[in-house]
Amino acid sequence: MDRIRLVGGNELNGEIHISGAKNAALPLMIASLLTDEPLVLLNVPRLADVKQLERILENHGVDIAVHGRRRGDAEMGGQRITFTAGDIVDTTAPYELVSKMRASFWVIGPLLAREGTARVSLPGGCAIGTRPVDFYLDGLRALGAEIDIDGGYVVARALGGRLKGATVTFPKVSVGATHVVMMAATLADGVTTIENAAREPEVSNLAECLNAMGAKISGIGTDRLVIEGAEKLGGATHEVLPDRIETGTYAMAAAMTGGNVFLRGARPELLQSALSALGEAGVNVSQEDGGVRIIRNGNGLLPVDVETDPFPGFPTDLQAQFMALMTRSAGVSKIRETIFENRFMHVAELARFGANIHVDGQTATVTGVPELKGAQVMATDLRASVSLVIAGLAAQGETVVNRIYHLDRGFERLEEKLSRCGADIERITG
């Protein structure tokens, strides 16, 4: 099993190209099930989760063509992939595929909308919480779906063969449920209104793609989406937006080590809350043509309190990284997690570096320490794993991060991007 070895103490200086967002690419890929015409996606990241979803879509009959680089394409740019679902050959998403990635459950919306039926395995829990699919199913029921649970599978049928427009109000903001109901509603008869919809940029990116395919969605970027159902959708070409979580991760890595890093392709409006927190910590954050520059030369880190919230609040997917950063602040900071009930598993691993962190319920109190020391650590989930890399970049001596398959799910060429900026980091295979 692969590991990452790094020796801390080096400043980061240089440029990092921000990849396409995993959390945008996955629902965009799933949207290809809504049409029998080609959907061309640009800037698709090279990630394990993308490859896994490709296998799932191929199981449904989607033809996938990955295109080579064109003249003028950036060296670290994303992939151009064409998805063509000419015929849906299977409306079942089996357990052995869905169990490997929660987002694959989202195929239920397009399959039900286009074929009138879907049989999708329940995704179950995961390392950072149960994340039930009740909101998804209640939303589809509101659109006229009949839903049963049979042997661990959700069996959904559109009464009369076609979904009907309706008002869907989510009791709590859910990105996944917003994706599913919005996609399903594009092919429903009549108008659907989604109240308390997620406002995340990845939701807007999907809505813009659906509109390019012929959907009629208004209210994009707000918590009230109105979708006028269409008879059918067509093909389109659409670009995956840059990854705000990767942007924040590398910004925090640069803040942790010191130095001067330009994050090419980063869009600051996608994570203003996190960048503001970095500014409060004493890090120089500036927008420049083509990206964002992060500078910390010599000055120490100040403690900052943050609370995770749905967009535009502080992202839960940056909570672990910010906690790693705060372990070196000159004081006490508090980090409150409001999205997932079990997302502090990285605390025990950060403690192996000598971090001083106390957890009380959903709040972690971090008391900064003068130095961290390299250690053998183990990744527990995708975002927690990269927090250990951030800690290791500033720790004295050698750090080895085990179980890095979590990293490969969501960070493209991480060790290459960091080493180009001066980090002493390598992947150890086997």
Per-residue pLDDT at 369: 98
Q: What is the pLDDT of residues 65-117, one digit of tens each?
A: 999 877 666 677 899 999 999 999 999 999 998 888 888 999 999 999 999 99
Spatial distance between the Cα atoms of 280 and 331, rounded to a whole number of angstroms: 13
pLDDT bracket for residue 381 (50, 70, 90): confident
Please say if the pLDDT value at position 129 is more than 50: no
Spatial distance between the Cα atoms of 50 and 87, rounded to a whole number of angstroms: 21
| Residue ranges making up the domain that contains 280 | 3-19+242-428
Same domain for 282 and 367, yes or no, is yes
Higher pLDDT, 133 or 332: 332
Higher pLDDT, 415 or 76: 415
Same domain for 55 and 131, yes or no, is yes
**Cα–Cα separations (whole angstroms), residue 322 to 38, 142, 365, 417:** 40, 39, 12, 20
Which of 223, 239, 255 lies at the terminal end of a domain, its last residue? 239
Residue-wise DSSP of 388-415:
HHHHHHHSBSEEEEE-THHHHHH-TTHH
Mean pLDDT in the chain? 94
Per-residue pLDDT at 384: 81
Same domain for 202 and 322, yes or no, is no
Same domain for 295 and 181, yes or no, is no
Q: What is the pLDDT of residues 289-298, one digit of tens each?
A: 999 999 998 7
Domain count, the chain: 2
CA 387, distance to chain mean position in Å, is 15
Per-residue pLDDT at 72: 62
Which of 239, 266, 300 lies at the terminal end of a domain, its last residue? 239
pLDDT above 90 covers what percent of the chain? 86
**Residues forming the annotated binding site?**
22-23, 102, 172-175, 317, 339
Q: Is the dihedral of CA 226, 227, 228, 234 positive or negative?
A: positive
Same domain for 186 and 272, yes or no, is no
Q: In the predicted model, what is the mean pLDDT of residues 306-330?
A: 97
Spatial distance between the Cα atoms of 400 and 426, rounded to a whole number of angstroms: 10
Tokens linked to 36: 């029998």
Which of 194, 210, 239 lies at the terminal end of a domain, its last residue? 239
pLDDT bracket for residue 130 (50, 70, 90): very low
Same domain for 384 and 298, yes or no, is yes
pLDDT bracket for residue 340 (50, 70, 90): confident
Q: What angle do CA 234, 238, 244 make, to 5 degrees?
A: 140
**Residues forming the annotated binding site for UDP-N-acetyl-alpha-D-glucosamine?**
102, 172-175, 317, 339
Same domain for 419 and 353, yes or no, is yes
Check: CB of residue 262 under 8 Å from CB of residue 16: yes
Per-residue pLDDT at 125: 43
Please say if the pLDDT value at position 421 is more than 80: yes
Please say if the pLDDT value at position 126 is more than 70: no
Three-state DSSP state, 74: coil
Task: Tell me the CATH number at 325.
Answer: 3.65.10.10
Please say if the pLDDT value at position 374 is more than 80: yes
Please say if the pLDDT value at position 430 is more than 80: no
Same domain for 201 and 261, yes or no, is no
Per-residue pLDDT at 383: 74
Per-residue pLDDT at 284: 97
Please say if the pLDDT value at position 315 is more than 70: yes
- Structure-derived torsion over alpha carbons of residues 379, 252, 282, 420, reported in degrees to the nearest 10: 130
Check: CB of residue 274 under 8 Å from CB of residue 319: no
Spatial distance between the Cα atoms of 264 and 246, rounded to a whole number of angstroms: 11
Catalytic residue (one of 40, 42, 76, 126): 126
Same domain for 387 and 403, yes or no, is yes
**Residues forming the annotated binding site for phosphoenolpyruvate?**
22-23
Known catalytic membership, residue 126? yes
Residue-wise DSSP of 227-255:
EE--S----EEEEPPB-HHHHHHHHHHHH
Per-residue pLDDT at 71: 65
Q: What is the pLDDT of residues 9-61, one digit of tens each?
A: 999 999 999 999 999 999 999 999 999 999 999 999 999 999 999 999 999 99
Q: Directed axis angle between helix 134-142 and helix 175-185, to 10°?
A: 20
Per-residue pLDDT at 416: 96
Per-residue pLDDT at 128: 36
- Model confidence, pTM: 0.95
